[in-house]
Structure 1
C-alpha cells in the first residue's frame, strides 16, 4: 500500500525530542534510581575499603547476654567495661547504647567515663511517647557532663531499604549533632543553616555514603563478656577507638547492606565503626548535586541527538556504546578518585534507548522510501521476455506463419477447426503428448493445454535444407506451461508483505539486468560506456576479446588510455576526440586498428541519469572483413583489367590479322587462337568458382561421402595425368560422411590434383590418401615436383599470387586455384596446410569435420 505521508526524519530535533520524552517517561518510574543504586553497589563491592587498624568493636552478643543476664544490664557493668578498656589503653570509647533514662548507677558510670576522659555517648531522635512530638532523647545530665562528646546514632535506609550511608549531622531546629563516628573523630555540634525552625523539626545535613569494608564481622570484634572476664592482650585495644554496641539477635539495629541485603544484616555499631574507618581514611563519598546528573543527561542527549543523524547506520551502535562507556568511566573516576557519587542512570538510559530509537526512525524512513520505490518498481513494465507457453494458441500459429511460411497448417480447439490450410482432422496423429512435438516427414504436430481447453496445432514445413534445423528449434521451444500455481499469501504482517514486494521487484530487476546484459554481450559490435570523466564503467565481451584486456582492468580505466595503448596516433589525438565528445556533445566516427584488424569506433554522448553531465557510448564495429572485401574488389578489378583483358586483346589482334588475309590461315594461328580462348575461359571459370565459394553458407550443405568426392576428382584429372604419364595412386576404403557441398569440395580436390600433375615431372606418381583421424576426414596429396620456395609458403593461398619459380618454368596460372581451395575448406570449418622443400615435392593435407548424427 502506498503512503503519501512522510515519516519523522532522523534529525537532531526529532531525535532529541524523542529521547527527551523517553527520559522524562523513565523519570516517572523508579528505574533510574534502581540503576544508580545497582551501579553504586557494584562499584563498591568490586573495590571494598581497607579497614583502619585502629578500630575495635566490643559486641553485646548472645554469649554476653547468656553470661550477664537479661538486658538491660546495670550501668555499673558498663562502668566496669570502661575501666577494663581504660586499662587496656583504649584511646576513645564510643557507646552505641542508649542511656536515655536515669539510673542509680549513673554516678559509677559517670565516674568511669571521667576517669577515661574520652567517652562518646549516643543520642536518639524519637518521640518519648507515641502521642508526643519528635524530640531529642539525651542521656541523663551527669552522663552528659562526663561524656567528652555526644553523637546521633541514626543510619539512613535508602528507598530500596538498603543502608548505604548516613547524615553526618542530625538534630532538631536548635542544633545539629554529629554522627557517632564523626563525634569519635572530635567533631562538635553545630548551628543549623536555617534559623527560625520549630523545635520539633528534624534537621539533617551533609549526607555521605559509607564504603563498607565487607560483610558483617569484617571488623575486629570482641565479646562484651570476654572483655569483662578475661585479661586482654596488650594489642587488642591499645591506642584504638572502641565501639561498644549490641549485635545479638533482636537487640541491636538490623541494617541490610549492599554486601548482604537481608540475608546477613549488619548491626548498627559495626556500621558506625565502618563509618569511622572511612572518615579516618578520607573515604566517605559525597553525592554530587542533583543538577549535575540532570546536566550530564542533557549533555548526553544533545551529543547523541547531534551525532547519530550524521553517522552511518552501522556506526550507530558503536557511537552509543562509546558514549555509555564514557559516562561509566566518568562515574568510576569520580567515585574512586574524588569520592563523589554522580547519579548517571538518567544519562545512561539515553544511549540505551538512543540506538533503538534512532534505528527505528531510520527504519521508518527507509521503510517509507522503499515502499514508494517498490511501488514504482512493481508498476514498471517488465523487460524480460514473456514465456512462449503463455501465448494463446492462435497467436502461436500467427507467429509460426510469419517465421517459417509453412505450406499448410491446422489449429483445432477440441474437435473444432479454428484455422486450416492443406491439413484436416484426418491428418492429426494419434497419441499426441501435451507440450511435445511430433515430427513426421515435413509435418510437425503438438498438443497444447490451456487451462481446461485442449488445442492441436499442425504445420507443413518447407521441405528444404532448413527442415531439420527448424524441427530441432521446435523441440527446444517450450510451449507447455510448467508453472506451479502456488497459493498467493496475503500476509497479515506488514513486514511479510514488504518481503513479497521486494521479492517481486528484485526478480523484475534481475530479469531486466539479465536481459540487458545478454543483449549487450550478444551484440555484434563492441560497446563501451563511460561516465562524465571519460572513465569506462561498462564494456561487453567483444572489448575484452579485441583489446586483450581482462574485464576487471577495463572498469575504471580512462577511455583515452585504452585507445592510446592499442592504437597510438598524433592526428587527431584520442584525448581530443573524447574530450570534444564530452564538451561539445557531438558524435565522432574514427578509424581504429588493433592487432592488424580494422575497426570503426563511433563516439556518441548521452545524458547521465540524475545529472546535467554527459557520458559516452562508444560503438566499435569490426570492419576487417569489409576492408578485406574492398581489397579483394580492387584486386578483382586489377585481375579483370589485366589477366582477363590481356588474352582477349591478343585474340582480337589475331582475328584482325586473319581478317586482313583470310586466304592464308595457318594451323598454328588457329591453335594459338584456341589457347587464348581456353585461357580466357579458365580465367572466367576460376573467377566464378571463387565467387561461389565465398558466397557458400551452411544452408547449401547436405550429407555427402568424402571418398566418393575424391574418386570423382581423380577421374576428372586422369586424362591430364595420362598425357604426362603420371600415376594417380589413391589409397582409402572407408566411407567418411561429411555435411557440406560436394560440388565445391570436388572442385577444390580437382584444383589440388591439377596442380600436383602440372608441377610433377613426367613419369612420376601422385599419392592420394583418404583416411580418418578422430572426428576429421583427411586428404593428403603428395607429388614429386620441384617443391615450393620457403619464402613463398606464407603467401601460397593468397589470391592472384603466382609462384615465381612456376612462372619462370613456364607454368602459367591465375593465382585463384589455391585461394579457392582454402576458401572452400574454411567454409566447411576445416583446415589445410602444406609441407614442402625445394626439390623434394609438396604435400597438401586437407582436414574436414565428420558429420555428427542428428539428435
Structure 2
C-alpha cells in the first residue's frame, strides 16, 4: 500500500497532474494576501479617454516625446515605457525627437519583443527598439509573461538568453536603477531584428499581485500632456507608461481578476516591480522539495495506520490534510515559496480507502481459511448452516455470521 500510494503521489508531482487544483489554491491564497501598493510607483495610462482625445493608435513618436518632455520637468527616478518601438517611424526626425526626449527625461527603459516560436523553425525572434531609441535607452529588457495551462498569467522569467545575448526583465532593470545598482550592458551589440536558434529562460518568479486592476496610482496620458497633473506626483518616483485601453490588446487574466475582467500589461509590470522592491517575489519550490513535502504526510499516515485504531486514523488523516494546506500557505505567505499541495492531499485521501480495502481483503482471506479448517471438524460446526441475518448481506458479514 505504501509503495503504491507513494508512486501515485510521485507521478502526480512530476507530471503536474493536479495543476488545476494547485492553481485554484494559489489563487485563493493570493486573494487573501492583497496589500497596499508602493507609493513610489505611478502609472501613466494610455487609456480610452486619452485615445479619444489624442487620436487612434498608434500615435506618432512625437506624441510620446511630448509626454517625456513634460516628465523631464518633474524629475522622476526612472521611467519604463511599456510600448514596443521596434519599427522605425516613417519620419526619421520623429525617432530623433523621441530619443532626445528620452535622454532629457532621465533613465528611460524600453522593452524588446521576443516572439516564440521564431520564423522558419527558429526557437524565437528578438526585435529590439529602433536604432536611435535603443541608443538613447538606459536599458533594454524583456517583458514576456508565462501563462499556465488555464491561460492565466501568474509568473515571469527574470532572464532570457540566446548564446551570448541576454536580457533581464524590464522591471529588474527598474529595480536596479531605483536601488542604485549596476545595470549590465548588453552582452552583444546584435541587430534590431535577430533570429534566435535557442532561447533559455532563467529564474521563474511567481507574481504576488498587490491587488486587482486599478490598484496602483494611475493618471491618464492626455492629462499629463496637457499639464493638468502636478509634477510632484512623478518627482523621485518610478513611472510606468503603458496601454490600458480596451482595444489595444495588452490585457491578461490574472489570479485577482474575475471571469469578466482582465489586467493591463502595464499594471502587471507594476505588480512585478512592487514585488521586486519589497522582497515579496515568490519562487516555486523544486520538484525534489515538493516530492519531500508531499510524501512526508503520507509516511506519517502510513505509520498511524499500522499502530492506531480506525477512528484515530480517520482523525489523523483529516489533521494531516489540514496541516498540508497550512504548511503550503505558510511557505507561500511567509517564506515566499510555492509548494503545490494538491498531490499530497490526493495521496492522503487515496491511501485510507486503499488501506481499508487491503485490510478487508486480508480479513476475508483469514476467515475463509478458518472456515475451511472448521469444516474439517464436524463436531465443531453444526450439520446445517445457521440462518444468516438479513443485515449480513455482504461477503464479510456472511463470513462473520458463519463463524458464529
Normalising by the smaller structure, the TM-score range is 0.7 to 0.9
| 8 Å contact kept, 2:156–2:205 | yes
CA gap 1:189/1:199 in 2 versus in 1, 3 angstroms: farther
Q: How does 1:165-176 map to 2 (within 5 A)?
A: 165-176=155-166
CA gap 1:17/1:184 in 2 versus in 1, 3 angstroms: same
**What's 1:292 paired with?**
289
| 8 Å contact kept, 1:122–1:151 | yes
Match of 2:55 among 52, 69, 84: 69
Deviation of the 1:108 alpha carbon: 0.9
Inter-partner Cα distance in structure 2 for 1:369 and 1:250:
72
Answer yes or no: is 1:113 the counterpart of 2:110: no
Q: Compute the TM-score of the two structures, normalised by the length of structure 1.
A: 0.42
| 8 Å contact kept, 2:13–2:291 | no
| 8 Å contact kept, 2:79–2:109 | yes
- Encode CA deviations 1:358-402: one digit per residue, 9 max, x unaligned: 2222222233345556775997339xxxxxxxxxxxxxxxxxxxx
| 8 Å contact kept, 1:94–1:184 | yes
* SS of 2:260 mapped into structure 1: strand
Inter-partner Cα distance in structure 1 for 2:336 and 2:16:
25
| 8 Å contact kept, 1:120–1:184 | yes
**What's 1:381 paired with?**
382
Answer yes or no: is 1:39 the counterpart of 2:25: yes
Answer yes or no: is 1:125 the counterpart of 2:122: no
| 8 Å contact kept, 2:207–2:272 | yes
Answer yes or no: is 1:84 the counterpart of 2:70: yes
**What's 2:40 paired with?**
54
Inter-partner Cα distance in structure 1 for 2:265 and 2:279:
21
Deviation of the 1:156 alpha carbon: 1.0
- Encode CA deviations 1:78-107: one digit per residue, 9 max, x unaligned: 011112222234222111100011122011
| 8 Å contact kept, 1:88–1:232 | no
CA gap 1:183/1:292 in 2 versus in 1, 3 angstroms: same
CA gap 1:358/1:97 in 2 versus in 1, 3 angstroms: same
**What's 1:348 paired with?**
345
Deviation of the 1:70 alpha carbon: 1.7
CA gap 1:489/1:317 in 2 versus in 1, 3 angstroms: closer
**What's 2:325 paired with?**
328
* SS of 1:368 mapped into structure 2: helix
Answer yes or no: is 1:151 the counterpart of 2:152: no
**What's 1:430 paired with?**
none
Inter-partner Cα distance in structure 2 for 1:59 and 1:328:
39
Answer yes or no: is 1:359 the counterpart of 2:345: no
* SS of 2:208 mapped into structure 1: coil
Higher relative contact order (CA 8 A, sep 6+): 2
Deviation of the 1:26 alpha carbon: 4.2
CA gap 1:234/1:28 in 2 versus in 1, 3 angstroms: closer
Deviation of the 1:235 alpha carbon: 4.0
Larger Rg: 1
CA gap 1:219/1:114 in 2 versus in 1, 3 angstroms: same
Deviation of the 1:505 alpha carbon: 5.1
CA gap 1:52/1:232 in 2 versus in 1, 3 angstroms: same
Structure 1 unaligned residues grouped into runs of 5+: 1-14, 193-197, 383-487, 510-855
* SS of 2:261 mapped into structure 1: strand
CA gap 1:349/1:122 in 2 versus in 1, 3 angstroms: same
Q: How does 1:497-512 map to 2 (within 5 A)?
A: 498-499=396-397, 502=400
Q: How does 1:203-602 map to 2 (within 5 A)?
A: 203-260=200-257, 262-370=259-367, 380-381=381-382, 495-496=393-394, 498-499=396-397, 502=400
Answer yes or no: is 1:142 the counterpart of 2:132: yes
Inter-partner Cα distance in structure 2 for 1:254 and 1:108:
29
Deviation of the 1:166 alpha carbon: 0.3
Answer yes or no: is 1:22 the counterpart of 2:8: yes
- Encode CA deviations 1:281-323: one digit per residue, 9 max, x unaligned: 1100011222111233343444333332222222111222233
Inter-partner Cα distance in structure 1 for 2:196 and 2:346:
42
* SS of 1:231 mapped into structure 2: coil
CA gap 1:497/1:135 in 2 versus in 1, 3 angstroms: closer
| 8 Å contact kept, 1:327–1:348 | yes
Deviation of the 1:30 alpha carbon: 5.0
* SS of 2:172 mapped into structure 1: helix
Answer yes or no: is 1:188 the counterpart of 2:184: yes
**What's 2:179 paired with?**
none
Inter-partner Cα distance in structure 2 for 1:189 and 1:344:
41
| 8 Å contact kept, 1:209–1:286 | yes
| 8 Å contact kept, 1:297–1:346 | yes
Inter-partner Cα distance in structure 2 for 1:157 and 1:355:
35
- Encode CA deviations 1:160-179: one digit per residue, 9 max, x unaligned: 21101101112322232111
Inter-partner Cα distance in structure 2 for 1:302 and 1:62:
57
Deviation of the 1:49 alpha carbon: 3.6
Q: CA RMSD in A?
A: 3.3
* SS of 1:171 mapped into structure 2: strand
- Equivalent pairs, count: 383
| 8 Å contact kept, 1:176–1:204 | no
CA gap 1:328/1:127 in 2 versus in 1, 3 angstroms: closer
Inter-partner Cα distance in structure 1 for 2:393 and 2:19:
37
Deviation of the 1:128 alpha carbon: 11
| 8 Å contact kept, 1:23–1:350 | yes
Inter-partner Cα distance in structure 2 for 1:305 and 1:141:
65
| 8 Å contact kept, 2:34–2:209 | yes
**What's 2:169 paired with?**
179
Q: Compute the TM-score of the two structures, normalised by the length of structure 2.
A: 0.84
Deviation of the 1:337 alpha carbon: 1.7
| 8 Å contact kept, 1:52–1:277 | yes
* SS of 2:239 mapped into structure 1: strand
Inter-partner Cα distance in structure 2 for 1:253 and 1:328:
35
**What's 1:98 paired with?**
84
Deviation of the 1:157 alpha carbon: 0.6
Inter-partner Cα distance in structure 1 for 2:37 and 2:229:
21
